[in-house]
Amino acid sequence: MPGQAGGAAPFPDPLSRSAVLHERARRVLPGGNSRHSVFFPPYPVYAARGRGSRIWDVDGVERLDCVNNYSSLIHGHCHPAVVDAIARQASELISVALPTESEVKLAELLVERLDAVERVRFCNSGTEAVMFALKAARALTGRPLIAKIEGAYHGSAETASVSTSPDPARWGEADAPSAVQDSGSAPGVAQDVLVLPMNDVELGRRLIRRHAARLAGVLVDPMVKNLAFMAVTPEFVSMLREETARCGALLVFDEVYSLRLGFHGAHSVLRIEPDVVALGKIIGGGLPIGAVGGRADLMDELFDPRRGAKLAHAGTFNANPLTMAAGLAAMAHFDEAAFDRLSALGDRLRAGLRDALRVTGRPGTVTGAASLTGLFMTDARIRTYRDLVATVAADPQIMTRGGALFRGLLNRGVFMGAQGFMVLSTANTPAEIDRIVDAVADSLRSLPA
Ligand SMILES: Cc1ncc(COP(=O)(O)O)c(C=O)c1O
């Protein structure tokens, strides 16, 4: 039964192994780790091992993992087929400066499965996948401008990270949002980014038309995790498809996260054919991966060295055999029946969370689809990044009641995303979903009013 290990004190506990490890880690790693998203105050728990839906920390505390490495573990931890594929591959070939059959097999699976993908090129992260997809748009059109949604996260590459979390003092007018670049980006990066408010069809159309002559591509994630798992509306993506086709720009879907929304891709659920799709996370079976996929003619023009590829594409670990083997095993086991079963678990979770809010009388909103779920402690209707910022300004604790819900769950054996989300895996059972819901209800009851 997940929860506190025998004798372990509740989190946070300054005497725990995690607390001590964090102190030691801070001497060699700024902040104690290598990834901002895994830090939570006062110290993150350090993981020791995982199996299926569960993880154990270094203090021996067992929890249900509802983060699944930010969605990349579609089968949870150490699925036997994935472990076996990695072990077999590791004994044959770990990395090599030649292509391998494993790369062909994973590419075949993706091309067969994803409607908009006729060719694919691998890289090592979602960040790289988005970066190459945007370079593709610029290389093919010879134009500089990339449009993206205000507040949407697409990884850390310079163009993609413009206006991911712009400060209200700098974000400009609502009908002409300023492009605000990340600190550390090269000067001028934001000049070639057009920022669109989420789901505003008419404004989006006007802005795109105004900049059409310079527009290389529009980047959009069908469901934006850091905008409370807000989904694009069919009208908005249809407008993006129409307007990009009209001015000869590329429509780029970021399905690094959102691939979980549809067995044939989120684009197939929306019935939209993007020109290029950025992929990552689940297609690597838990190992580092990214990929760019798209229409055969575009992809061949961009990447085929026999035709004088338009885009330089190197990477020492691109399509490395270990990742390819893990990705193939994971994706082969994630068949349509597994997808449907997992989505039903997501529906059960969302229904249970809505009930928990109702029964406890707490304000809250449940968002998401398929295996991705958002839980926010506010009834406010959030439609755009600016709505979200205004809501948080009015009540800074909405994400997880200032971490109290997150900590309440951590101490009831459930590890949720600290920003208020849960990502399920095929290792979850209906009974576990009910346990998560009970833990949420119990935590909600114990929150201060
Ligand atoms: C929508 C989206 N795009 C891109 C990325 C970047 O992927 P990676 O962390 O593999 O670089 C992420 C990561 O969470 C993401 O959610």
The finding on whether 70 has its CB within 6 A of some atom of ligand 1 is yes
For the chain, list residues with pLDDT below 50.
Answer: none
Ligand 1 center to 290 CA (angstroms)? 9
Residue with tokens 């001015």: 247
Cβ 257 under 6 angstroms from ligand 1 = yes
Cα–Cα nearest to 331, from 277, 285, 288, 264: 285
Check the CA dihedral 76-80-83-86 and report its sign: negative
Q: Which domains are seen in the chain, by residue range? A: 17-78+336-446 (3.90.1150.10), 80-333 (3.40.640.10)
pTM over 0.95: yes
Cβ of 255 below 6 Å from ligand 1: no
Ligand 1 close to Cβ of residue 152 (< 6 A): no
Ligand 1: nearest atom to the Cα of 72:
10
The DSSP string of 30-87 is GGGSS-GGG--SS-PPPEEEEEBTEEEETT--EEEESSTTTTT-TT-B--HHHHHHHH
Task: Report the separation in Å between the CA atom of 289 and the middle of ligand 1, taken as the mean of its atom positions.
Answer: 10
Measured from the CB, is residue 288 less than 6 Å from ligand 1? no
- Cα separation, 194 vs 266, whole angstroms: 24
Q: Whose CA is nearest to atom 13 of ligand 1?
A: 155
Residue nearest to atom 9 of ligand 1 (CA): 126
User: Nearest to residue 175, comparing CAs of 381, 382, 384?
Assistant: 384
Q: Are 255 and 126 in contact (CB under 8 A)?
A: no
Best mutation site among 68, 127, 252 for ligand 1 pocket (most ligand atoms within 8 Å of CB):
127
Phi, psi of 47, rounded to the nearest 5 degrees: -85, 145
Of 66, 132, 143, 92, the C-alpha closest to 290 is 132
Distance (Å) from CA 256 to ligand 1 centroid: 6
What is the rounded CA–CA span in Å between residue 86 and residue 118? Answer: 27
Residues near 161 by Cβ (< 8 Å), separated by ≥ 6? Answer: 154, 155, 181, 182, 185
Which runs of consecutive H residues, i.e. helices, occur in 219-320?
A: 234-247, 266-270, 296-303
Specify the residue with its C-alpha closest to ligand 1, atom 2: 154
Pocket of ligand 1 contains residue 56 by CB under 6 Å: no
| Cβ-based neighbour number of residue 387 at 10 Å | 18
Phi, psi of 392 (to 5 degrees): -70, -35
Cα 25 to ligand 1 centre (Å): 25
Using a 6 Å cutoff on CB, does residue 155 contact ligand 1? yes
What confidence score (pLDDT) does residue 7 get? 64
Distance 257 CA to ligand 1 centre (A): 7
* CA–CA dist 430, 85 (Å, integer): 28
Pocket test for ligand 1, best of 257, 258, 318, 372 (most atoms within 8 A of CB): 257
